[in-house]
A and B are shown apart, each in its own frame.
Chain A
Amino acid sequence: MSACENPNVDQDALMTRRQKFDGKTKICVKCKENTGNIVIRYAVYCKSCFFPLIQTRFRKSLEPSINVIPDGSRRKGLKAAGSLVIAFSGGTSSTAMLDLVAKTYFAQRTGDTEERRGGKEHPRNLDRGVWKGKPVVCFVEVCGAFDDQRDRTDEIKAVVGSYPGTPFEFIPLRLEDAFNPLWWKQVTGDLSTSALSLGLDMRNEDLQLNQSTSEPSPLVALRRYLASLPTQTALYNAIHILTRVLLLHTAASRKASHLILGTSLTSLSVNLISGIAQGAGFSVAEEAKEEWKSQRGASVRVVRPLREVGMKECAIWDWWCGLHIVGRSRKFIQGGGRSAIGALTRDFIFGLESDFPATVSTVARTCAKLTPKEGSDGICVLCERPAQHGVQAWKSRISIRSYDQASSSITGNTRPPHLTETEIANLTLTSQDVSALTPSLTPRLCYACHTTLTSRSSRGTVHSGQSPGNIPIPTWVHAALQPTVGNEDSSDDDEDAEITQSTKLSQMEMKAQIVDFLLDEQ
C-alpha cells in the first residue's frame, strides 16, 4: 500500500509505519564495530558511542552562545560574561542536563597526577573557568499551586548535593514567591506601597487595576490568581510563565550571564506547538533562544542546550548513568490538565515521536525559521517577552469583543453555553462605565498573556461563573507598573499611544462614510 493514498476515499489507507532503523544490520553507525543498543531517529548507536554523541550535541547547542559575541564553537576562547544558573525541575531532561553540565564543565579531577598533566591551554583544562563564580542550581517548587502535593525540595537538594565536590550552589524557590514582596526585595528591590496595593479586575477584557486593601499571604495570593484564570489551559500556562520569570529574575540577581533550561527537542516541539495554539506565535523565536533584559538592565541569555537531544536520549542517558529522577509534580504532569492545550499537544508530540521520530525535530526546525512580520511594541509585563505591536486593535478586528444583545439573550436560549449570566452582565459593561479613570493592564500585555487571562472556553473552566474583581498580580507586574501608576506625569508614552474603539455603524452611517465613491443609480 502506498503511503500517499487518501484516507478519506479509502478507509484502510493509512500511512505505513517506517521501519524503526535504517540499514540491514544492528551495527552501530558510528564505530561500525559494536552491536547497537539504541535507535535515535532511525540511526543505530552502541552504548559507548551514545555518550560522546549526546555530549557533543549538548556542547554544540550551548557553546556558541557562551561568549558575549558568538565565536563559533571554538572551545579555546570560551569565556562567559557572568555566572551560570541551571534550572532544574527534577524531570527527565533537566536531570540529564545537570549531569552533562557537571561532567563537562565541573567534573572533579581524579587525582593530583592528572592535575599536573597539561598546561592551562591543554584541551583537558580549557573547560575550567568558562563561567564566573560557583554555578547555581535553581529549583521552583510548584506544589503550592495544587492541593495534596508533596514538597520535593529536599529530594532535589539531595540530587544536587550528590555530585562529587559539591560544585553547585542550590537555590530553592517556590511558585508563590512570584507574589512575595520579600522575594522581590531580595532579587531586585523594594516595591512602592501604591504599586503593591494594586489588584486586578478580571471581570472584563480591560483588566483594570484597582487599589486593594487586602494583603494576602503569597500562597493565598497564588491560589487566588490561579483560581481566577478562565481555563485549564490558562492555569498550566500561568504556572509555566511564573516559573520562567522567577528563574529569570533569580538569574539576574545572581549576576548570571546564562540561564540554561532542560528543554529537550521533544519538549521544545511541544512548547512551540502549544505556544502557537495559545496565541504566542509572536515569541516563537524566544521559545528556542532568548536574550532577556531585566527591568534594571541586566542581561541574561536563556539557552536550551538539549534542544537537539530528544526526550528518549535524555531518559536513556539518565538510566545508563544511574541518575535518580525525582520527577515533577504528578498533578502537574498527569492531573486535571488533561484537557489543557499543553497536555493535548504533549500527547500528540509523544505519539508522533514514537511513530515518526524525525517529524519532531522537523517541528522545531520549521519553527526556528519563523520570524514575526511586525515589530515589537515593548515588553509584556506578565511574561516579560516582546509584545506584538497593536495587539488590541488587531484583536478587535478579528474577534467579537462584546455581546451586545446579552441582556435580551440572558432570558432566551441564545446565551453562549460557556458564559454564565453574571459573566455576560460583566462583559456587557462598556469600558466607559468603569475604565475611564482606572489604569488597565491590557495595553501592557502581549496577545498570549491577554488571552490567557481573558479567553473563556465552553469546556475546562476552572471555576465556572467566578468573575473575581480584585486578583493579586505577580510582583514583577507591580514593579513594571510602578512608574506609571500614581505618577500621571510620566505617562507620555501612554498619551501618544494609539487608541482605537470599535463602534457598530448603522447602514445609513456606513453609506455616509462612502458616499463620495458611490455611483449614481441613474
Chain B
Amino acid sequence: MSTISLKIEFGGGLELLFANQRSHRIDIPCRVSTDNDTTVKELNEKEAKAVDVSYLVHHMRDHMLKERAELFMENGTVRPGILVLINDTDWELEGEGEYQLKNGDEVVFISTLHGG
C-alpha cells in the first residue's frame, strides 16, 4: 500500500492531548476507506477515496491521541475552537475536511480553548 508523509504540528496547548509532543511526522495510506475507518486492512476499491483531512483527523484520534478524544473531535470533525492550517493556510480556504492531502503537506492544529 503506497503512503504519503505528513508533518503534523500542534499549538495553543493541544499538544497536551498528544503526548505533549508539538511536532510529529506520520505516514498514512494514499487510498483510504470512504467512512474514514482507520482499521481497514484490505480496502475495497469501490469504497475507497484519496486520503483527505477528514481521514487524517480520524487517524489522529485512533492512533495518536493519548487521552480525551472528546476534546479533539466532535461530530466527525475537529471540535469547534480548534483551528486547522494546511500549509500555513486556513483549512476553510482549502475545503476543510475534503482537502486531499499530498506528500509533504504540513498540517497544524491550534487550540483556542485555552481562552483569555
Which residues of A pack against B, CB within 8 Å? 20-21, 26, 35-39, 44, 47, 89-94, 261-264, 266-267, 311-312, 314-316, 318-319, 325, 327-328, 330, 333-334, 346-347, 350-351, 353-355
Would B13 and A325 count as touching, CB distance under 8 A? yes
Q: In the complex, what distance in Å separates the CA atom of A381 from the CA atom of B81?
A: 35
Is the CB–CB distance between B113 and A354 below 8 Å? no
Q: Given A39-B92, A325-B11, are A334 and B116 neighbors across the interface (CB < 8 Å)?
A: no
Q: Are A334 and B12 in contact (CB under 8 A)?
A: no
Q: Given A351-B80, A354-B80, A20 and B112 touching (CB < 8 A)?
A: no
Closest residue of chain B to A42 (Cβ to Cβ) is B92
Given contacts A36-B93, A91-B116, A327-B13, 8 further A-B contacts (CB under 8 A): A36-B89, A315-B112, A318-B12, A319-B11, A325-B13, A327-B114, A333-B114, A350-B81
Q: In the bound complex, do residue A92 and residue B93 qualify as a contact, i.e. CB atoms below 8 Å apart?
A: no
Q: Are B113 and A319 in contact (CB under 8 A)?
A: no
Q: Complex formed: what's the CA distance from A327 to B93 in Å?
A: 28
Given contacts A91-B115, A92-B115, A20 and B80 within 8 Å (CB-CB): no
Using known A-B contacts A21-B93, A47-B88, determine if residue A315 contacts B116 with beta carbons closer than 8 Å: no
**Residues of A contacting B108 in the complex (Cβ-Cβ under 8 angstroms):** 319
| Total residue contacts A-B, CB cutoff 8 A | 98
Contact indicator B92/A92 (Cβ below 8 Å): no
Q: Which residues of B contact A35 (CB under 8 A)?
A: 89
Given contacts A21-B92, A37-B88, A38-B90, contact A263 B116 (CB under 8 A): yes
The smallest beta-carbon distance between A162 and chain B, in angstroms, is: 17
Chain A residues near B115: list those with CB within 8 A.
89, 91-93, 267, 311, 328, 333, 346
User: CA A319 – CA B89 in complex, angstroms?
Assistant: 12
- If A39-B92, A92-B112, A315-B110 touch, whether A334 touches B13 (CB-CB below 8 Å) is no
Q: Does B65 contact A (CB under 8 A)?
A: no
Bound together, the chains give a CA A315 to CA B84 distance in angstroms of: 11
Q: Is the CB of A92 within 8 A of B12?
A: yes
Residues 71 to 95 of chain B near chain A (Cβ within 8 Å) = 71, 80-81, 83, 85, 88-90, 92-93
Chain A residues, CB < 8 A from B13: 325, 327
| A and B contact pairs by CB, cutoff 8 A, 26 listed | A20-B93, A21-B92, A37-B88, A38-B89, A39-B92, A47-B88, A92-B115, A93-B115, A264-B116, A266-B112, A311-B81, A312-B83, A312-B112, A319-B11, A319-B110, A325-B11, A325-B12, A327-B114, A328-B114, A330-B16, A334-B113, A346-B115, A350-B112, A351-B80, A353-B80, A353-B81
- Interface flags for B39-51 (1: CB within 8 Å of A; 0: not) read 0000000000000
CB distance from A290 to the nearest CB of B (A): 16
A350 close to B114 (CB less than 8 A)? no
Q: Which B residue sits closest to A45, measured CB to CB?
A: B90
Instruction: Give the docked Cα–Cα distance between A208 and B39 (Å).
Output: 63
Chain A nearest Cβ from B64, distance in angstroms:
19
For the complex, what is the distance from the CA of A289 to the CA of B90, rounded to whole Å? 32
Residues of B near A89 (CB, < 8 A) are: 115-116
By a CB distance below 8 angstroms, the chain A residues around B111 are 92, 315
Q: A327-B13, A328-B115 are in contact. Are A315 and B92 (CB under 8 A)?
A: no
Cβ–Cβ < 8 Å partners of B11 in chain A = 315, 318-319, 325
Alpha-carbon separation in the docked complex, A38 to B90 (Å): 5
Point out the residues of chain B lying under 8 angstroms from A334, CB to CB: 68, 71, 113
Q: Name B77's closest neighbour in chain A (CB-CB).
A: A354
- Give A21 to B113 CA distance when docked, in angstroms: 23
Q: Which of B81, B93, B113, B115 gathers the greatest number of chain A CB atoms within 10 Å?
A: B115
Chain A's nearest CB lies how many Å from the CB of B8?
Answer: 14
Q: Are A316 and B83 in contact (CB under 8 A)?
A: yes
